[in-house]
Structure 1
Amino acid sequence: MAHFIYEYSANLPAEQLNLAALMQKMHRVAADSGVFPLAGIRSRALRCEEFRVGDGSPDNGFVNLSVKVGHGRDLDTRMTVGEQLFDTLIQHLQPLLDSRPLAVSFEMRELDPDVKFNRKSL
């Protein structure tokens, strides 16, 4: 299981952000790692209309990626995959990073198996 939750500032041009392509790349990296089964990978994006970054300049933008992963992978494995995912995220966003003030953050969290419930038919 890997759930990707993208939050991003509304001032980022959709055609430059290209979330569909980013999600496709991230799914591929996650699945190709052999750590996450493809059927358990999910992505969703939340556009933040109300935001403030740094000094509040209207040009400042952000992309935050939170990845929730199932329990049971050691720290070295999570670090390796996390670095691959972050590199992919940065490569995709590099044109935006080069053209405007942009903060990019990434966090991977392991879920507690005792309080995680789910059902699926995939």
Structure 2
Amino acid sequence: MPHIIVEYTDNLADLNFRSLLKSLNHVLVESDHFPTGGIRSRAVKLTDYVVADGTEDDAFVHIELKVGAGRSEEVLKATSESLFEAAKTFLDDCFKDRYLALSLEVTEFRFPTQKKNNIHNRYTG
């Protein structure tokens, strides 16, 4: 049930965020710690925001990974680092051209969640 939510400022709208989402999903698939059929990612373009003192056209990207509870701290740390590296690679040229803040957080669902998903069937054969 990992969910990836990428928030980005609209002054970065010329970037291909679908490509970033595919890269982030690939990190989770390759880790073997998350069921492929449960991975969901989305990018949300923000139009109302202020960065720093608001006087410049600064940008930011914030990534949140939401996962079900139960994975070790080592797995979560390694996953976080791998996702952050993928995001840095995606934004490498952007960091050269403008002021930009990148952040990533991992959140664990602590309470029971409700879900129904038959996509898993495709991966469990």
Q: Which one of 101, 109, 117 corresponds to residue 114 of structure 2?
A: 117
Write the mapping of 1:1-122 to structure 2, written as runs, cut at 5 A. Answer: 1-14=1-14, 17-112=15-110, 114-122=111-119
Deviations 1:67-102 (A, max 9, x none): 101111010111011111111111111111111010
Residues in 2 aligned to 1:58 and 1:104: alpha-carbon distance in whole angstroms: 17
Q: Which runs of 4+ in 1 moved over 4 A?
A: none
Q: 1:3 to 1:40 in 2, by over 3 A?
A: same
Residues in 2 aligned to 1:46 and 1:73: alpha-carbon distance in whole angstroms: 27
Equivalent residues, number: 119
* 5+ long unaligned stretches in structure 2: 120-125
Query: Mean Cα displacement is larger for which, 5-14 or 100-109?
Result: 5-14
Residues in 2 aligned to 1:67 and 1:57: alpha-carbon distance in whole angstroms: 30
* 5+ long unaligned stretches in structure 1: none
Q: CA RMSD in A?
A: 1.1
Q: Could you state the TM-score of these two structures normalised by the residue count of structure 1? A: 0.92
Q: 1:7 to 1:66 in 2, by over 3 A?
A: same
Identity, % of aligned positions: 34
Deviations 1:41-65 (A, max 9, x none): 1011111101000021341011000
The letter of the residue matching 2:28 is A
Deviation at 1:103, TM superposition (A): 0.7
Residues in 1 aligned to 2:26 and 2:8: alpha-carbon distance in whole angstroms: 21
Q: Could you state the TM-score of these two structures normalised by the residue count of structure 2? A: 0.90
